[in-house]
């Protein structure tokens, strides 16, 4: 029993060490790419007015996606609970229940598309 615990601890420690090393290498690679790039000649700093407009655009995109995800979560919770109850009583309605869950999931897609449209104009 003690030998199994020691093996388990070694495996967990090895897994954690591997993940830390992997994240360290990925972080180093992405940092090098970020700092190695030269700014383009046509880039210019945003004015204070443009920054204010962009700020509200980013907030609007976050709200659009956030409310879409929140609404989808509420819809899936209600429809999913009802679907599980219906499937437990009558298993042949599983396909129809899945369609209703997918319709509720479509709200996230609409929120995401709206956020992309807003970000495209900022």
CA distance linking residue 68 with residue 30, whole number of Å: 31
- Residue 41 phi, psi (nearest 5): -70, -30
pTM, two decimal places: 0.56
The angle that helices 48-89 and 94-121 make with each other, rounded to 10 degrees, is 180
Q: Mention every residue, 6+ apart, whose C-beta is less than 8 A from residue 42.
A: none
* pLDDT for residue 20: 92
Domain boundaries 47-122, corresponding CATH code: 1.20.20.10
Task: From first to last of the 122 residues of the chain, give the pLDDT tens digit.
Answer: 678 888 999 999 999 999 999 888 887 776 665 665 566 666 667 787 888 788 899 999 999 999 999 999 999 999 999 999 999 999 999 999 999 999 888 889 999 999 999 998 87
* pLDDT for residue 43: 65
**Structural domain boundaries of the chain?**
1-37, 47-122
């Amino acid at each position: 029993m003690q030998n199994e615990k020691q093996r388990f601890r070694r495996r967990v420690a090895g897994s954690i060490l591997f993940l830390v090393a992997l994240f360290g290498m990925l972080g180093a690679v992405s940092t090098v790419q970020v700092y190695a790039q030269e700014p383009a000649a046509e880039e210019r700093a945003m004015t204070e007015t443009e920054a204010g407009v962009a700020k509200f655009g980013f907030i609007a995109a976050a709200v659009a996606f956030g409310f879409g995800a929140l609404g989808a979560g509420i819809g899936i919770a209600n429809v999913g609970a009802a679907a599980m109850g219906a499937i437990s009583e009558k298993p042949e309605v599983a396909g129809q229940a899945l369609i209703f869950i997918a319709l509720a999931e479509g709200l996230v897609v609409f929120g995401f598309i709206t956020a992309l449209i807003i970000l495209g104009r900022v």
